[in-house]
């Protein structure tokens, strides 16, 4: 039987995102959720989830909102107003072959977000990873903090290439044509199921949410969020998936 891990990222980003993730959890397809612990609405997002039985992870974020660390201590990753530098700043730097993140600084913020996770959830994260930014130094920082606290780190791999989580090969399904995906994520879910094998776990990462003012003002990902929320709450999708040779798992289920 094929193993499938359906993950929802960005809990705490905004109230609309929290509502979209909560709806997907209530519908039953999403059992793994990544929390942006630096965001002010992370706590209310957890309340919406009724998180008993869910697999919760730290979705470490250094490009949205404000840090938990004093901005004066981490100048490489914040703007003058104390907010994080945006994901576009990381992409622009990577295009120039640069990485402006200072390791000692980003370690402070990763540690702060880990401590906040413990405060919010009351237990260790069941997986530990990072919101995608183009910074090798950031990902090295995640590795260091995971090793320091013996956390189950899930590394980011290249599209289609396996990443080991404990003793399980995990292969992420990433659409090549994102504009087509935005219009019909269900079609790509079907492709992901068809291309999965029984020797690894297939991962699909979603960002379900409903549009609110904060999301409209701060994220370029809007259409995909509402389409994913619609798909993940559609009973016909759940019924189709139940008919496939697929076992839905979480990181906690992986040996």
Regarding predicted confidence, which is higher, 61 or 134?
61
Q: Write down the pLDDT at residue 241.
A: 95
Mean pLDDT of 102-128: 98
Whether the pLDDT of residue 253 is over 80: the answer is yes
User: Tokens at residue 166, please?
Assistant: 């404990």
The model's pLDDT over 59-114, given as tens digits with 9 standing for 90+, comes to: 999 999 999 999 999 999 999 999 999 999 999 999 999 999 999 999 999 999 99
pLDDT of residue 121: 96
Q: What is the mean pLDDT of the chain?
A: 95
Alpha carbons 61 and 10: distance in angstroms, whole number? 9
- Identify the DSSP state of 198: T
The per-residue DSSP string of 128-170 comes to EEE---S-HHHHHHHHHHHHHHT--B-----TT--EEETTEEE
Q: What is the CATH number of domain 2-253?
A: 3.20.20.370
In this structure, the number of other CB atoms found within 10 A of the CB of residue 147 comes to: 10
Query: CA–CA separation, 181 vs 68, rounded Å?
Result: 34
Residue 166: CB atoms within 10 Å = 10
Contact 222, 180 (CB under 8 A): no
Task: Please report, for the chain, the start and end positions of each structural domain, with discontinuous segments joined by +.
Answer: 2-253
Tokens of 168: 């399980």
**pLDDT recorded at residue 160:** 76
pLDDT of residue 52: 79
Q: Is 132's pLDDT higher than 90?
A: no
> Which pLDDT value is given to residue 232?
98
What angle do the packed helices 223-232 and 15-27 form, to 10 degrees? 20
- Model-level pTM? 0.96
pLDDT tens-digit series, residues 159-200 = 778 999 999 999 999 888 989 999 999 999 999 999 999 999
Read off the pLDDT of residues 193-241 as tens digits, 9 standing for 90 and up: 999 999 999 999 999 999 999 999 988 889 999 999 999 999 999 999 9
């Amino acid at each position: 039987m094929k193993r499938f891990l359906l993950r929802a990222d960005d809990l705490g980003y905004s109230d609309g995102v929290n509502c979209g993730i909560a709806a997907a959890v209530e519908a039953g397809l999403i059992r793994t959720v990544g929390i942006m612990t630096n965001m002010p609405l992370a706590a209310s997002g957890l309340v919406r989830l009724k998180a008993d039985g869910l697999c919760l992870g730290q979705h470490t974020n250094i490009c949205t909102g404000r840090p938990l660390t004093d901005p004066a201590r981490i100048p490489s990753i914040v703007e003058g107003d104390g907010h994080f530098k945006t994901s576009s700043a990381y992409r622009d730097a990577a295009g120039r072959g640069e990485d402006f993140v200072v390791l000692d600084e980003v370690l402070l913020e990763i540690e702060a977000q880990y401590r906040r996770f413990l405060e919010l959830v009351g237990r260790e994260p069941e997986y530990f990873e990072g919101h995608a930014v183009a910074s090798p130094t950031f990902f090295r920082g995640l590795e260091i903090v995971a090793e320091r606290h013996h956390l189950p780190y899930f590394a980011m791999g290249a599209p289609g290439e396996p990443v080991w989580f404990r003793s399980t090969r995990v292969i992420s399904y990433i659409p090549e044509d994102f504009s087509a995906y935005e219009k019909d994520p269900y079609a790509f879910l079907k492709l992901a199921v068809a291309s999965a094998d029984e020797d690894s776990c297939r991962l699909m990462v979603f960002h379900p949410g409903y549009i609110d003012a904060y999301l409209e003002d701060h994220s370029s990902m809007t259409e995909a969020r509402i389409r994913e929320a619609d798909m993940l709450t559609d009973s016909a999708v759940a019924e189709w998936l139940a008919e496939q040779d697929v076992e839905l798992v979480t990181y906690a289920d992986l040996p």
